[in-house]
């Protein structure tokens, strides 16, 4: 059977002799009805997403971002008090990466007004700790794997409201932080204690944090030993029948987005543990993998300077990378559709992608190919969000306050 004929039969459209196109009046009523309903459903979904997107932007700019700035002002002041000059320098440098801290706080738009303050405080503290520990673990130490693992225990303790503090700096050459890291951890878990459904999300959030600890302990630069052990770990951790390759699993494990989504979800008094597990399944591996690989795209030059091989560089070619990221974006979008607030999580996904794709590093041919691939998966709203972020970056460039 010729391929065009087979496609016609499969779609239940009567075969027209002489190659003529079927007239709409010749279609069966059932087919017309299905198409009409499908078209209305697609239009309704598009309108629903647009409304949620617009409401999220307004809520973020007016109600979330001012509180984030206040939190960051507090942590800048606190970092300036760190006694050890090297630790102080690392803490201050990590706070200058405010783009991903503000991005983490975007999840607070999912929280009801009554719990939004606690949600913002927890999200900002958690990502501030992540940035600081990521910077510290890249510094020279006698045993970088053990040191990174011990430092990143803070990300687990931050999700345990009653746990004691281990000696995070046990294997780190510098340790006199004046209680800075402990204060960040305590701030996060005190905020979590005020969220009504944190007990329901805690197991999933801690599992996500455990993946971060494993990734950070094994994500070594070339001077520290490279990615051989990370590759073995990620190969074993790749979910069966997922179609993922090891670098995508590793990328997903290193993402903090699952923790952020779960923290925000715990502000919903009606959330249960099955909802939390579904959120974790959406963010790990699909959204998380895309998140870390786009971060790898933007940080490629910085990674090279630090002797760190980019995860994105393990693809055979830029074209393969663009195809794989487009596939991850498609899987991520479908995963959001299974969540309690599908439009809201799709906004988070779109915003995350646009944050990276709007960066100055993404004017390259490779990045533009990736943008086209992701647009096919996520739709035109991605371009709208990229434009919004570019305006924001331009504003910060004019005021000489880099947005990274």
What is the per-residue pLDDT for 28?
58
d(CA 167, CA 157) in angstroms, rounded, equals: 12
Size (the chain), residues: 404
What is the per-residue pLDDT for 3?
37
Q: Average model confidence (pLDDT) for the chain? A: 89
What is the per-residue pLDDT for 89?
98
Query: What band does 41 get if pLDDT is binned at 50, 70 and 90?
Result: low
Q: Positive or negative, the Cα torsion across 108, 112, 116, 122?
A: negative
Q: List, as one string, the DSSP characters of 49-115.
A: HHHHHHHHHHHIIIIIHHHHHHHHHHHHHHHTT-SSHHHHHHHHHHHT-HHHHHHHHGGGGGS-HHH
What is the per-residue pLDDT for 31?
46
Instruction: Tell whether the model's pLDDT for residue 307 goes beyond 90.
Output: no
Q: Is 340 exposed, middle or buried (0-12, 13-18, 19+ CB in 10 A)?
A: middle
d(CA 256, CA 212) in angstroms, rounded, equals: 7
CA 392 from centroid of its chain's CA atoms: 19
Query: What band does 286 get if pLDDT is binned at 50, 70 and 90?
Result: very high
Instruction: Tell whether the model's pLDDT for residue 32 goes beyond 70.
Output: no
What is the per-residue pLDDT for 40?
59
Query: What band does 404 get if pLDDT is binned at 50, 70 and 90?
Result: low
Q: Is 301 exposed, middle or buried (0-12, 13-18, 19+ CB in 10 A)?
A: exposed
Q: Positive or negative, the Cα torsion across 147, 149, 155, 156?
A: negative
What is the per-residue pLDDT for 244?
97
The percentage of residues in the chain with a pLDDT greater than 90, rounded to a whole number, is 78
d(CA 367, CA 318) in angstroms, rounded, equals: 9
Mean pLDDT of 124-136: 97
* Inter-axis angle of helices 228-237 and 246-254, nearest 10: 90
What is the per-residue pLDDT for 44?
63
Query: Worst-scoring range by mean pLDDT, 1-5, 22-26, 303-307, 309-313?
Result: 1-5
| Max CA distance (Å), the chain | 84
Question: Closest Cα partner for 46 from 370, 342, 392, 351?
Answer: 342
Mean pLDDT of 67-74: 97
Instruction: Tell whether the model's pLDDT for residue 22 goes beyond 60.
Output: no
* Cβ contact 128:94 at 8 Å: yes
What is the per-residue pLDDT for 42?
61
Q: Write the pLDDT tens digit of every residue in 131-182.
A: 999 999 989 999 999 999 999 999 999 999 999 999 999 999 999 999 999 9
Mean pLDDT of 324-349: 97
CA distances from 60 to 52, 97, 155, 166, 180 (A): 12, 19, 25, 36, 28
Residue position matching structure tokens 């959406």: 282
Read off the pTM: 0.87
Mean pLDDT of 55-73: 97
Mean pLDDT of 242-259: 97
Mean pLDDT of 24-35: 49
Residue position matching structure tokens 């496609």: 7
CA distances from 237 to 230, 251, 284, 308, 328 (A): 10, 12, 12, 22, 17
């Amino acid at each position: 059977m010729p391929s065009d004929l087979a496609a016609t039969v499969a779609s239940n459209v009567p075969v027209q002799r002489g190659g003529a196109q079927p007239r709409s009046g010749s279609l069966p009523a059932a087919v017309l009805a299905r198409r009409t309903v499908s078209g209305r459903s697609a239009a309704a979904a598009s309108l629903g997403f647009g409304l949620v997107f617009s409401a999220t932007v307004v809520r973020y700019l007016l109600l979330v971002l001012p509180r984030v700035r206040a939190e960051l002002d507090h942590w800048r002041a606190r970092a300036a008090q760190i006694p050890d000059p090297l630790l102080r320098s690392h803490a201050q440098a990590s706070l200058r990466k405010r783009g991903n801290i503000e991005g983490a706080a975007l999840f607070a738009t999912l929280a009801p007004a009554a719990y939004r303050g606690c949600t913002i405080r927890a999200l900002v503290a958690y990502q501030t700790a992540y940035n600081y520990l990521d910077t510290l673990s890249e510094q020279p130490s006698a045993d970088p794997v053990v040191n990174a693992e011990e430092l990143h225990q803070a990300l687990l303790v931050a999700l345990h409201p009653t746990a004691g503090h281990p000696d995070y700096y046990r294997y780190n050459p510098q340790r006199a932080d004046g209680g800075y890291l402990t204060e960040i951890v305590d701030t996060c878990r005190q905020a979590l204690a005020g969220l009504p459904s944190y007990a329901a999300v805690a197991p999933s959030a801690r599992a996500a944090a455990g993946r971060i600890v494993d990734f950070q302990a094994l994500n070594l630069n070339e001077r520290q030993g490279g990615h051989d052990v990370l590759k073995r770990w990620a190969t074993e951790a790749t979910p069966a029948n997922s179609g993922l390759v090891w670098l995508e699993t590793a990328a997903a494990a290193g993402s903090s987005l699952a923790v952020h989504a779960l923290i925000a979800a715990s502000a919903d008094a009606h959330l249960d543990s099955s909802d939390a597990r579904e959120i974790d399944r959406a963010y790990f591996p699909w959204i998380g993998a895309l998140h870390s690989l786009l971060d790898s795209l933007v940080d490629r030059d910085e990674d090279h300077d630090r002797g760190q091989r980019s995860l994105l560089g393990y693809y055979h070619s830029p074209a393969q990378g663009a195809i794989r990221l487009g596939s991850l974006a498609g899987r991520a979008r479908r995963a959001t559709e299974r969540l309690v607030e599908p439009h809201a999580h799709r906004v988070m996904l779109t915003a995350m992608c646009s944050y990276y794709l709007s960066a100055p590093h993404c004017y390259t041919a490779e990045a533009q190919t990736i943008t086209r691939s992701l647009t096919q998966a996520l739709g035109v709203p991605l371009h709208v969000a990229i434009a919004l972020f570019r305006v924001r970056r331009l504003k910060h460039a004019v005021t000489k306050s880099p947005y990274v």
